[in-house]
Amino acid sequence: MIDAAQVEDDSSPSRALEQMDELRRILLAPEQNEIIRLHERVEQVRPDPENVAELLPEAVSIRTRKDDRLATALMPTIENAIGVSVKKDPHRLVDAIFPVMGPAIRKAISHAFSEMVQSINQTLEHSLSIKGLKWRWEAFRTGKSFAEVVLSHTLLYRVEQVFLIHKATGVMLQHKARGATGMLDSDLVSGMLTAIQDFVHDSFGAQKSDELESFRVGDFTIWIERGSQAVLAAVIRGTAPQEFRHTLQDALDSIHAEQREALENFSGDSAPFAATRPHLESCLRDQVEVKAKKSSTAFWMAATIVLLAVGLWLFFYVRGGLRWSDYIASLKAEPGLVVVSEDRRWGTFYVTGLRDPLARDPAEMLKSTRIAAQDVVSRWEHYQAADPRFIIARASRLLEPPQSVSFKAEEGVLRAEGFASREWIAQAQKLAAFIPGVAAFDARSLIDADSARQEFEGVRQRVENRLIKFETGSAEILEDQAPVLDELASDIERLRALAQSIGSEVRISISGYTDPTGTEAINATLRRQRAENIFSALISRGINPLGLSASPADVATLPRASQDRKVNLVVTLSDAASRNR
């Protein structure tokens, strides 16, 4: 019998849920266990960073030996990292590569500078020697450049061409030649090397392991260097040192390292081997003869003596030329001298020209130049210069003028100024036509001294005979004496002009007089006052006081008839030149 409580319990909701969970476990238990097991495997397979750090270097090494895919994949990342580093701090990259780049740059500069110095030394050595002169003649005769001739005589060896040949197939992979050397046929080169190798083996019983290392054809020697996949053949002019084989080996090793995959998979296409050209170019070497320098003390001493002698000769030659040029310039500047030609031959100077007799003597002018007279050959022809100074000198010599006459010459006209006798003037007008360079004689400015003296005497008499009267006991000038004073002043001016024209000067003394009446003290005062008043009246009329004097007359020495109330003038004539002295 079922208990009612138990029935109620089985029909409760919680009981139903438990039954559903139990049923789910019964139906889905295998799948849940599989999921749990897979989850545990996934948790176990997830890599640990420490394990990856230990395995990564070995994995990179294995991947690199297989192919270049890892390097290709990492290249963009590495380039980007370098770019970011440079932008962020360029000094870090500079500091990192400096230990490598610094020595490399210094080595390259040192090598280039050494080559340049060696080239300059060789050029100078061969240019300043007898051998160098012979080589220059050979270059001129053959049409070659001097550098080519020097190289042909001093060259020890030079690599003309280098061939890179595939060892297994004998196909030429790359070729490098010096200068304009023509490209050889690849089949011809490879066939030649193969044929020579077979000939050696067949003729001399050589082992298969024995390889041909070199052979000679005409002026060329072919050196062969073999590697595992490729062969280098160098065509050499001259005799190369054994060390050059190390150069070939280094180049071949570098080619094998860089082109390993291309050599192993070669199928006839030589395009990938264009990258080997720098290695082939490094094999194009040469070496010229370097002789030990001989003692050239004697040569340089002789050369020094010759240079000093040439220098001294050049110095004296140039100095003599400069002195000669200065002398010729002074001759050309001297009036009355005309230089027609001048020359210098073998240390002797030559000059020809025209000379006026009145000009300076060229021989006297030569003394001031410090040129030896025996080194100068000169020839001067006579001529009459038209220079005004020479015309005046010739006129003075022919006409013999008095000191009162001076000459001026201008455009062929001889002008005479001053005063002279009538006879000299007439004679000068006749003789002037015979003076070289004078086309006309102008005597309009000459004064006839004879006429001037005659006129001077007439005016002088008028001045000395003219009397100026005064009232008794008075020194005042009467009004009716004004015209007399005007005429007197005019005569004095004319006297001075006439005296000047004949080279003389006029002195006029004014003397005052009184009659006998009156005391001597009063009369002496009147005589002085009357002379001074006339002096002042003449000055007021424009007469220059120079040469004019006023003084009382000494009546004690005069006869009775000369004593009167008047003023008297006395004119004396003196030579102007003697007065100036």
For every residue of 478-510, DSSP letters joined together read: PGGGHHHHHHHHHHHHHHHHHHHHTTEEEEEEE
Q: 313-382 — its CATH code?
A: 3.30.300
**Strand 405-410 with 376-382, pairing:** unpaired
CATH: 3.40.630, 3.30.1340, 1.10.3470, 2.60.40. Which one for 388-444? 3.30.1340
> What stretches of 156-238 show up as alpha helix (H) in DSSP?
186-204
Rounded to an integer, what distance in angstroms lies between the CA atom of residue 486 and that of residue 541? 7
Give pLDDT tens digits for 67-77.
777 778 777 88
Three-class DSSP category at 533: helix
Q: Which of 551, 421, 567, 379 is nearest to 481 (CA)?
A: 567
pLDDT value of position 50: 67
Q: Mean per-residue pLDDT for 537-552?
A: 85
Give me the residue spans of the domains in the chain: 4-46, 89-118, 135-288, 313-382, 388-444, 450-580
Rounded to an integer, what distance in angstroms lies between the CA atom of residue 137 and that of residue 150? 12
In the numeric block, the tokens 């003023």 are attached to 567
Q: How confident is the model at residue 139 (pLDDT cuts 50, 70, 90)?
A: confident
- SS3 of 415-458: EEEEEECHHHHHHHHHHHHHCCCCCEEECCCEEEHHHHHHHHHH
In the numeric block, the tokens 């012979």 are attached to 134
Taking a C-beta distance cutoff of 8 angstroms, is the pair 449, 419 a contact?
yes
pLDDT value of position 577: 44
Check whether 83 has a pLDDT greater than 80.
no
Give pLDDT tens digits for 176-210.
887 655 445 555 666 666 666 666 666 665 565 56
Using the 8-state DSSP alphabet, how is residue 275 labeled? G
pLDDT value of position 367: 85
Give pLDDT tens digits for 355-395.
888 888 888 888 888 888 888 888 998 888 888 888 888 88
Rounded to an integer, what distance in angstroms lies between the CA atom of residue 135 and that of residue 119? 16
Q: Mean per-residue pLDDT for 298-304?
A: 83
Three-class DSSP category at 283: coil
Q: Mean per-residue pLDDT for 475-500?
A: 85
Taking a C-beta distance cutoff of 8 angstroms, is the pair 351, 330 a contact?
no
Rounded to an integer, what distance in angstroms lies between the CA atom of residue 323 and that of residue 328? 9
pLDDT value of position 447: 77
**Is the sign of the CA dihedral 266, 271, 275, 276 positive or negative?**
positive
Q: How many helices (H) and strands (E) does the chain have?
A: 19, 17
The listed range with the strongest mean pLDDT (4-8, 17-21, 44-48) is 17-21
Yes or no: is domain 450-580 CATH 3.40.50.11540?
A: no
% of the chain beyond a pLDDT of 90: 2
224 CB-near residues (< 8 Å, 6+ apart)? 193, 211, 212, 213, 214, 231, 232, 233
Q: Which of 240, 242, 263, 241 is nearest to 252 (CA)?
A: 263
CATH architecture label of 135-288:
2-Layer Sandwich (3.30)
Interaxial angle between packed helices 130-142 and 146-154, expressed in degrees from 0 to 180 and rounded to the nearest 10 = 120
pTM for the structure as a whole: 0.36
Largest Cα separation within the chain, whole Å, is 227
Cβ neighbours of 205 (radius 10 Å): 8
Give pLDDT tens digits for 389-408.
888 888 888 888 888 788 88
Give pLDDT tens digits for 212-263.
778 777 777 888 888 888 888 888 887 788 888 888 888 888 888 888 888 8
Tell me which amino acid residue 438 is.
V
Q: Mean per-residue pLDDT for 149-164?
A: 75
